[in-house]
Amino acid sequence: MARFLARRLVQSLLLVFIIITINFFLLHLAPGDPLARYYHPDIAPETIELMREKLGLDRPLIEQYVKWIWSFARGDFGISLQYNRPVASLLAESIPNTLRLTAGALMLYIIIGVALGITSAVKRYSLFDRVSTVAALFVYSIPSFWLALMLILFFSLKLGLLPSSHMQSIGIEGAGHFAMFVDRLRHIVLPAFVLGVASAAAMARYMRGSMIDVLGEDYIRTARAKGLPDRKVFLKHAFRNALLPVVTIIGLSLPFLLGGSVVIEKIFSWPGMGRLTVDAIHARDYPVVLAVNFIVAVMVILGNLLADIGYACLDPRIVYTRVGESK
Amino acid sequence: MDVLLKVDNLKTVFDTEDGVARVVDGVSFEVGHGETVGLVGESGCGKSVTALSIMRLVQDPPGRIAGGSVLFNGRDLLTIPEREMRKVRGNEISIVFQEPLTSLNPVFTCGEQVREAIALHQKLGRRESKRKAVEMFRLVRIPDPELRYRSYPHQMSGGMRQRVMIAMALSCQPKLLIADEPSTALDVSVQAQIMDLLLELKEKLGMAVLLITHNLAVVAQMVERVLVMYAGVVVEEAPVGGLFAEPLHPYTEGLLESLPKLGAPAGRLSMIPGNVPDPLNLPPGCRFSDRCPRRFDRCLSGEPPMFTVGRRRASRCWLREGGG
């Protein structure tokens, strides 16, 4: 296992390098100018050219690349062109918020998806199964931005139950730990739900299919022949086997959630990486966009690695070894 | 001999898109305490479904038990609540399936799968049930039982896996063991070992065995009495010696003739012409009539009942009407 991890780590580093390199060139090839926001009748073009020179944006692309990747490799993400602050400190502010949102969505989607899927499979063709099938398809087909707006309309404006934006109420800091926790929880419910619900619907379908496959296996018959009650047959013998294909899907859903959070954060004014990214792209704030890109690439690779490890933990038949090496 | 299991007019059907398939269509037989009975027939004749029906393990839907009774020690297993039935399964009646690889759960150790049955029925704690499971491994002659207890099914050979299945089935000392083609999926050399083991354990533990097989050679060695099944019904019942000496049903005759014989001149083996009828579309009259070499008018007009012949034999053939 340690060997496997080491090998994966080296592969991942290489992969990340390739991804950020491609990204660097793609970004610079795209039209737009980070200094465009200084175009103004009152600002002399020479001043802008001076700024360009100072920032090194006038140098040949390959030179800019080498300079950037060199500082990047040493952990220096550079200075944001837009905010004139270190990119690292911008990320340090926004990444935890995005992770909080994504983790909330992930939890919601796994719990809802797995529970619905298993119940549907066990009560196959029942009313519950039919309703949840239709509901899953419905939810999956709804664009998330629309769902977000509808939920805000209903829960925030009409009922006034949940806040429509931001991570916490203004001035909540002094109200004590518990009140603050409740306040944050109320703020995260809507965005996490919108972010996770489509995945939950997909998950419910995968889980149902996987569980139905497993329930037809001979070893389920054996478990019943032993005299085990249904609960044990389903939750011990079937569940762990049914989870195997689903673990991969969870790992692959991470980029989906991170990508989705860009839209959701914008709608709910969530001070996370997604909002930072959208704003940075608009401003052609290259260092920020590239750094965010790097973080997302690392998270996706990490998600896949975790899925592989989870897979090995669940299925004893999987042993990670080098080709040609015996266990 | 006291009757342990009495299956009476058991009917199990499967709902298919083309109609209702009567896979087990009125099967009746008895198994005495400590008796070994063979249930023989071609693939698809309903023998496995009969076994699953006794255990109430037929997958529903599409299958369901449509009628009859299964008296086990005088109690009808088809009418007791599911909760009661669970106390019978794996405890009083156990089953060993054909394919040990797919019948064991791949993500749990072999030991755990045996231990679980012991803990469930004997209400033992983890340590005690584990000790008993290792003991069972030793009983079915798995070498290094403590080590093998921690092995996963994929780390074992086919023969060893089937030993695990047998250990699981016998762990609560059932009164009846149903062995559904226990050696069919194994290598020939291992088949004999598994059969010998079953025979030996049967003697040691004194349980009754219902052995389901399509292999007449296995039947000849293992059982006292044979039931021959064809297209969902029992067509002949006989003590094992009598069956081989003088079959009373043309289908049994055909089965015996298709066996290779020692010392006979080499040549093509004889076979029964035609195929097993589709349970959705059974021939009118006798189910075997379309393949039977001794068919006469009567066979096409009505289905024969089971005719008793002598004291211990019976045949579902019009030729035996009046016990002849």
The per-residue pLDDT for B60 is 79
The per-residue pLDDT for A6 is 87
Q: Which domains, ranges and CATH numbers included, belong to chain A?
A: 17-73 (no CATH), 92-314 (1.10.3720.10)
Percent of chain B residues past pLDDT 70, beyond the cut:
98
The answer to whether B133 and B114 have CB atoms below 8 angstroms apart is yes
Mutate to test the interface with A, among B103, B114, B122, B168 (most CBs of A within 10 A): B103
Least confident of A203-212, B239-248, B253-262: B253-262
User: For A251-268, what is the HEC assignment?
Assistant: HHHHHHHHHHHHHHHHHC
Residue B308, SS3 per DSSP:
strand
How does DSSP assign A20-61, residue by residue? HHHHHHHHHHSS--TTGGG--TTS-HHHHHHHHHHHTTTS-H
If we measure between CA atoms, which residue out of A229, A196, A4 comes closest to residue A103? A196
Phi and psi torsions of B11, nearest 5°: -130, 120
Which residue's structure tokens are 């009661």?
A: B84
The per-residue pLDDT for B270 is 76
Contact: A222, B91; criterion CB under 8 Å: no
Residue A78, SS3 per DSSP:
coil
Percent of chain A residues past pLDDT 70, beyond the cut:
98
Give the torsion sign (CA, A52, A54, A55, A56).
positive
Least confident of A62-66, A120-124, B2-6, B216-220: B216-220
Alpha carbon of B145: minimum distance to chain A alpha carbons (Å): 19
What are the chain A neighbours of B165 within 8 Å (beta carbons)?
222
Alpha carbon of B272: minimum distance to chain A alpha carbons (Å): 32
Stretch B284-311: mean pLDDT: 87
Lookup: tokens for A277 = 């990214």
Residues near B123 by beta carbon (within 8 Å), at least 6 away in sequence? none
Q: Confidence class of residue A324 from pLDDT cuts 50, 70 and 90?
A: very low
What are the chain A neighbours of B90 within 8 Å (beta carbons)?
225-228
d(CA B312, CA B225) in angstroms, rounded, equals 10
Nearest CA in chain A to B97: A222
- A219, A227, A241 member nearest B89 (Cβ): A227
Stretch A143-161: mean pLDDT: 91
Lookup: tokens for B84 = 């009661």
So what's the ipTM on this one?
Answer: 0.88
d(CA B182, CA B186) in angstroms, rounded, equals 8
The per-residue pLDDT for B1 is 58
Please write the tens of the pLDDT for every residue from B192-249. Answer: 888 889 888 998 898 999 999 888 888 888 899 999 999 999 999 999 988 888 889 9
**B contact residues 54-83, partner A, Cβ 8 Å cutoff:** 55, 57, 59
Q: In the predicted model, is pLDDT for residue A285 greater than 60? A: yes
The answer to whether B93 and B86 have CB atoms below 8 angstroms apart is no
Q: In the predicted model, is pLDDT for residue B22 greater than 50? A: yes
Lookup: tokens for B123 = 């209400």
Higher pLDDT, B49 or B215: B49
Phi and psi torsions of A180, nearest 5°: -70, -40
**Cβ atoms within 10 Å of A286's Cβ, excluding its own:** 24
Alpha carbon of B104: minimum distance to chain A alpha carbons (Å): 5
Contact: B105, A222; criterion CB under 8 Å: yes
Q: What is the mean pLDDT of chain B?
A: 89
Stretch B151-180: mean pLDDT: 92
Contact: B152, A316; criterion CB under 8 Å: yes
For A142-175, letters b (16+ CB in 10 Å) and e give eebeebbeebbeebeeeeeebbbeebbeeeeeee
Q: In the predicted model, is pLDDT for residue A322 greater than 60? A: no
- Show me where the domains of chain B are located: 3-92+174-261+268-320, 101-173
Residues near A266 by beta carbon (within 8 Å), at least 6 away in sequence? A274, A275, A278
Alpha helices in chain A (DSSP H): 2-29, 45-55, 61-73, 87-122, 127-141, 144-151, 177-215, 218-225, 230-232, 239-267, 273-282, 286-314
The per-residue pLDDT for B324 is 62
Q: Confidence class of residue A209 from pLDDT cuts 50, 70 and 90?
A: very high
What are the chain B neighbours of A226 within 8 Å (beta carbons)?
89-90, 116-117, 120, 168
- B86, B105, B107 member nearest A314 (Cβ): B107
Stretch A155-165: mean pLDDT: 88
Q: Confidence class of residue B109 from pLDDT cuts 50, 70 and 90?
A: very high
Q: In the predicted model, is pLDDT for residue A256 greater than 70? A: yes
The answer to whether B315 and B235 have CB atoms below 8 angstroms apart is yes
The per-residue pLDDT for A325 is 46
Q: In the predicted model, is pLDDT for residue B139 greater than 60? A: yes
The per-residue pLDDT for A152 is 92
What are the chain A neighbours of B116 within 8 Å (beta carbons)?
226, 228
Mutate to test the interface with B, among A222, A244, A314 (most CBs of B within 10 A): A222
Least confident of A76-90, A158-172, B30-44: A158-172
Instruction: Determine contact: A123 vs chain B, CB below 8 A.
Output: no
The per-residue pLDDT for A161 is 86
Reported as type and span, the H/E element at residue A158 is none
The per-residue pLDDT for A15 is 92
Higher pLDDT, A225 or B264: A225
Looking at this protein, which amino acid is placed at residue B151? S
Contact: B57, A221; criterion CB under 8 Å: yes
**Cβ atoms within 10 Å of B16's Cβ, excluding its own:** 11
Q: What is the mean pLDDT of chain A?
A: 87
Q: In the predicted model, is pLDDT for residue A323 greater than 70? A: no
Q: Confidence class of residue B277 from pLDDT cuts 50, 70 and 90?
A: confident
Percent of chain B residues past pLDDT 90, beyond the cut:
49
The answer to whether A271 and A100 have CB atoms below 8 angstroms apart is no
Q: In the predicted model, is pLDDT for residue A153 greater than 90? A: yes
Rounded to a whole number of angstroms, the distance between the first and last alpha carbons of chain A is 10
What are the chain B neighbours of A216 within 8 Å (beta carbons)?
59
Instruction: Determine contact: B123 vs chain A, CB below 8 A.
Output: no
Distance from chain centroid for Cα B288: 21
- A224, A314, A316 member nearest B57 (Cβ): A224
Instruction: Determine contact: A224 vs chain B, CB below 8 A.
Output: yes
B3-92+174-261+268-320 in CATH: which number? Answer: 3.40.50.300
d(CA B243, CA A183) in angstroms, rounded, equals 82
Q: In the predicted model, is pLDDT for residue A175 greater than 80? A: no
